[in-house]
């Protein structure tokens, strides 16, 4: 692969994540040669803006990857399963946003700030061409905040509740929130099409399938399994995670309430210091002004916002005054899942391949 100016394909370029790819490649002045925009036959012939020009969208076919060095996939799991191997056979490195390959032991699951070492086979050239997976968006956001604490202090348990934006379900779901909000405000009946519940003025359990035996939905399972893989934790005896995933009527940027149990007790000042120094994390935490992370503050940005940093007084407390240490902490985390949870993370991975 040419290291300086790879040719790039975006699979799913017309989607919510696809459009974000274009924004981020442009904003970060990603150095590339040809840019090939791919989507379904429905979008063939349409154009998308990029670097001041309109670029044509082409139908994804078996021949779409000839001459492509890096293929950024965000068109759903079945498209990734069908065309990811096609792209690899054509010589490309695939960075995949779907869940198709995440738990494949041969595929690295990468958040550049968290486990860049997983990229090593690709950086050394040993595994090129090949597939690299982007984690689930809720997992990325959780681990951006939790990993620095885990590395410094050890985390033995996390209880996470998500407040997930509708854009996590794609462009059509964003349209549904707009449409149903108008319907409700106009006094018309609001009929859900994408979700099984009306998303306007409502909060409901995540729309992924629920395991009848465990009661966990697929989003919750992903957070547990992907965290173990990224942190390299054993299935038994490793970090314990309890997740509840909920959809809320925000347009973009997921929020997560995170309760942590540490292996080693820590002062609040130490926890704050660790988070303030973490790459890609911005502490937004002003108790006096009640200024904390919100989806609106995170939307359109690259940072993972962390606030409401406070000891969990229901867990062990030791010592007095400034030296008081705590076993448990609570955090409230927000990040734009279309960016850090998807397109930005994938572009950061692509940047590692180029630099
Ligand atoms: N949304 C998020 O926050 C998020 C976060 C992390 C990961 N992801 C993953 O990213 C992927 C895309 O999500 P999204 O939210 O961007 O969905 P989306 O807005 O619904 O976009 C889907 C894209 O896939 C394309 N597509 C659909 N069927 C296709 C086909 N048969 N052949 C070629 N292209 C096809 C669509 O093209 P047309 O416009 O032509 O239909 C569109 O460009 C999914 O795997 C999702 O799980 C999403």
CA–centroid distance, residue 243 to ligand 1 (Å): 25
Q: How far is the CA of 292 from the centre of ligand 1 (A)?
A: 31
Other Cβ atoms closer than 10 A to 202: 15
Per-position b or e across 174-197, b if 16+ CB within 10 A of its CB: bebbebbbeeeeeeeebeeebbee
Within a 10 A sphere around the Cβ of 256, how many other Cβ atoms? Answer: 26
**Both tokens assigned to 11:** 């699979």
d(C-alpha 80, C-alpha 87), whole Å: 10
Spell out which residues line ligand 1, taking CB within 6 angstroms.
12-18, 39-40, 42-43, 60, 74-77, 79, 97-98, 137, 167-168, 170-172, 337-338, 341-342
Nearest CA, atom 35, ligand 1:
40
| Residues 340 and 305 sit within 8 Å (Cβ to Cβ) | no
Nearest-atom index, ligand 1, CA of 59: 33
pLDDT digits (tens, 9 = 90+) for 251-286: 999 999 999 999 999 999 999 999 999 999 999 999
Is residue 1 over pLDDT 70? no
Rg (CA), the chain: 21
| pLDDT confidence band for 2 (50 / 70 / 90) | very low
Dist. CA 90–CA 161, nearest whole Å: 41
Tell me what pLDDT residue 7 has.
98
The distance from CA 329 to its chain's CA centroid, rounded to whole angstroms, is: 23
Q: What are the DSSP E strand ranges found in the chain?
A: 8-11, 35-39, 47-50, 53-59, 70-73, 93-96, 130-133, 155-163, 204-205, 240-244, 246-247, 254-266, 281-283, 304-311, 317-318, 325-335
Which atom of ligand 1 is the closest one to the Cα of 44?
40
Dist CA 86 CA 63 (whole Å): 8
Entry pTM? 0.97
Rounded average pLDDT over 196-211: 98
**Predicted local distance difference test score (pLDDT) of residue 36:** 98
Could you give the CA distance from residue 101 to residue 78 in angstroms, rounded to a whole number? 11
Counting atoms of ligand 1 from 1, which one is nearest the CA of 14?
43
Q: What is the pLDDT of residues 83-115, one digit of tens each?
A: 999 999 999 999 999 999 999 999 999 999 999
- List pLDDT tens digits, range 47-88: 999 999 999 999 999 999 999 999 999 999 999 999 999 999
Mind telling me the catalytic residues?
Answer: 137, 254
Residue 45 pLDDT grade (very low, low, confident, very high; cuts 50, 70, 90): very high
């Amino acid at each position: 692969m040419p290291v300086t100016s790879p040719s790039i394909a975006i699979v799913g370029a017309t989607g919510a994540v696809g459009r974000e790819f274009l924004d981020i490649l442009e904003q970060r002045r990603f150095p590339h040669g040809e840019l090939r925009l791919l989507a379904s036959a429905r979008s063939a012939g349409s154009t998308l803006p990029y670097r001041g020009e309109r670029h044509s969208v082409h139908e994804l076919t078996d021949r779409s990857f000839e001459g492509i060095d890096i293929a950024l996939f965000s068109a759903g799991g079945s498209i990734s399963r069908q065309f990811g191997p096609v792209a690899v056979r054509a010589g490309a490195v695939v960075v995949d946003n779907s869940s198709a390959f995440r738990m494949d032991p041969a595929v690295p699951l990468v958040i550049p700030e968290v486990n860049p070492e997983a990229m090593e086979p690709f950086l050394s050239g040993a595994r090129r061409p090949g597939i690299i997976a982007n984690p689930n968006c809720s997992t990325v956001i959780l681990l951006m905040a939790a990993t620095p604490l885990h590395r410094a202090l050890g985390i033995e348990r996390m209880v996470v509740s998500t407040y997930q934006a509708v854009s996590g379900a794609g462009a059509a779901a964003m349209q549904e929130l707009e449409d149903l909000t108008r319907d409700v405000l106009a006094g018309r009946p609001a009929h859900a099409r994408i979700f099984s519940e009306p998303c306007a003025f409502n909060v409901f359990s995540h729309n992924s399938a629920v395991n009848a035996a465990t009661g966990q939905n697929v989003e919750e399972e992903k957070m547990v399994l992907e965290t173990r893989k990224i942190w390299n934790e054993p299935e038994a005896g490793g970090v314990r995670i309890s997740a509840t995933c909920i959809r809320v009527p925000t347009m973009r940027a997921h929020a997560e309430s995170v309760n942590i149990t540490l292996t080693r007790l820590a002062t609040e000042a130490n926890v704050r210091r660790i988070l303030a120094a973490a790459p890609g994390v911005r502490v937004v935490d002003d108790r006096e002004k009640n200024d904390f992370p919100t989806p609106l503050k995170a939307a359109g940005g690259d940072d993972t916002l962390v606030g409401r940093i406070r000891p969990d007084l229901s867990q062990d407390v030791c010592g007095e005054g400034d030296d008081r240490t705590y076993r448990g902490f609570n955090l409230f985390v927000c990040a734009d899942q279309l960016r850090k949870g998807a397109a930005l993370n994938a572009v950061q991975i692509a940047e590692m391949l180029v630099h």
